[in-house]
Amino acid sequence: MTQDTVTLTTAQAIVKYLQNQFIEIDGTETRICGGGFGIFGHGNVTCLGEALYDAQDDLPLYRGQNEQGMGFAAAGYAKYHLRRRFMFCTASAGPGTANLLTASALAHANRLPMLMLCGDTFLTRLPDPVLQQIEHFGNPAFGLNDGFKSVTRYWDRITHPAQVIQSLPAALATMLDPADCGPAFIGLPQDVQGWTYDFPTAFFEKRTHIIRRQAPDQREVDDVVSTLKSAARPVIIAGGGVQYSGAVAELTQFATDHNIPVIETIAGRANMLADHPLNIGPVGVTGSNSANTIAAEADVILAVGTRLQDFTTGSWTAFSKSAQLIGVNAARHDAAKHLSKTVVGDAKLCLTALSRALNGHKSPQDWVSKAQSERGKWDEYVAENVRPGNRPNSYAQAIGVVNALCDTRDRVVAAAGGLPAEVTANWRTLDIGTVDVEFGFSCMGYEISGAWGARIAQTEVEPTQDTIVFCGDGSYLLMNSDLYSSVITDKKLIVLVLDNGGFAVINKLQNNTGNESFNNLFADTPTATNPVDVDFAAHAAAMGARSEKVDNPAELAQAFQRAKNSPTSSVIVMNVDAYEGWTAEGHTWWEVGTPHTSSHQKVRDAHAEIESQRANQRKGV
555, 557, 581: which is closest to 395 by C-alpha? 581
302, 134, 329, 318: which is closest to 224 by C-alpha? 302
Residue 47 to residue 149: CA distance in whole angstroms = 24
Residues 463 and 533 in one domain: yes
Residues 351 and 426 in one domain: no
Question: In CATH, what number is assigned to the domain containing residue 330?
Answer: 3.40.50.1220
Residues 169 and 224 in one domain: no
Amino acid 581: pLDDT:
87
pLDDT confidence tier of residue 115, bands split at 50, 70 and 90: very high
* Mean pLDDT rounded to a whole number for the chain: 96
Residues 342 and 486 in one domain: no
105, 103, 102, 95: which is closest to 151 by C-alpha? 105
Residue 242 to residue 435: CA distance in whole angstroms = 14
Neighbours of 511 (CB within 10 A): 16
Question: In CATH, what number is assigned to the domain containing residue 524?
Answer: 3.40.50.970
User: Is 600 domain-assigned?
Assistant: no
pLDDT higher than 70, residue 84: yes
Residue 116 to residue 111: CA distance in whole angstroms = 15
Residues 187 and 86 in one domain: yes
Neighbours of 223 (CB within 10 A): 14
pLDDT higher than 80, residue 362: yes
pLDDT, tens digit (0-9, with 9 covering 90-100), for 211-227 = 999 999 999 999 999 99
- Domain of residue 249, residue span: 218-378
pLDDT, tens digit (0-9, with 9 covering 90-100), for 509-524 = 999 999 999 999 999 9
Residues 139 and 74 in one domain: yes
Domain end: 378, 396, 416, which one? 378
Q: Is 27 exposed, middle or buried (0-12, 13-18, 19+ CB in 10 A)?
A: exposed
Residues 6 or more apart whose Cβ sits within 8 Å of residue 184: 113, 114, 115, 116, 152, 153, 154, 155, 171, 172, 174, 175
Amino acid 619: pLDDT:
83
pLDDT confidence tier of residue 26, bands split at 50, 70 and 90: confident
Residues 6 or more apart whose Cβ sits within 8 Å of residue 56: none
Residues 372 and 399 in one domain: no
User: Is 585 domain-assigned?
Assistant: no
pLDDT confidence tier of residue 417, bands split at 50, 70 and 90: confident
589 — phi, psi (to 5°)?
-65, 145
pLDDT higher than 60, residue 1: no
User: Is 597 domain-assigned?
Assistant: no
Residues 495 and 425 in one domain: yes
User: Is 584 domain-assigned?
Assistant: no
Residues 23 and 105 in one domain: yes
Residues 552 and 418 in one domain: yes
pLDDT confidence tier of residue 531, bands split at 50, 70 and 90: confident
Amino acid 416: pLDDT:
87
Residues 178 and 230 in one domain: no
Amino acid 273: pLDDT:
97
Residues 328 and 410 in one domain: no
User: Is 586 domain-assigned?
Assistant: no
Domain end: 156, 188, 209, which one? 209
pLDDT higher than 60, residue 621: no
Domain end: 350, 378, 406, which one? 378
Residue 580: C-alpha distances to residues 186, 498, 505 (Å): 48, 14, 11
Amino acid 2: pLDDT:
66
Residues 6 or more apart whose Cβ sits within 8 Å of residue 303: 236, 237, 239, 325, 326, 327, 328, 329, 340
Residues of the chain above pLDDT 70, percent: 99
* Interval 361-368 mean pLDDT: 98
Residues of the chain above pLDDT 90, percent: 95
User: Is 601 domain-assigned?
Assistant: no
Integer-rounded Cα Rg, in Å, for the chain is 25
User: Is 599 domain-assigned?
Assistant: no
pLDDT higher than 70, residue 294: yes
> How many structural domains does the chain have?
3
User: Is 538 domain-assigned?
Assistant: yes
pTM of the predicted model over 0.85 = yes
pLDDT higher than 70, residue 335: yes
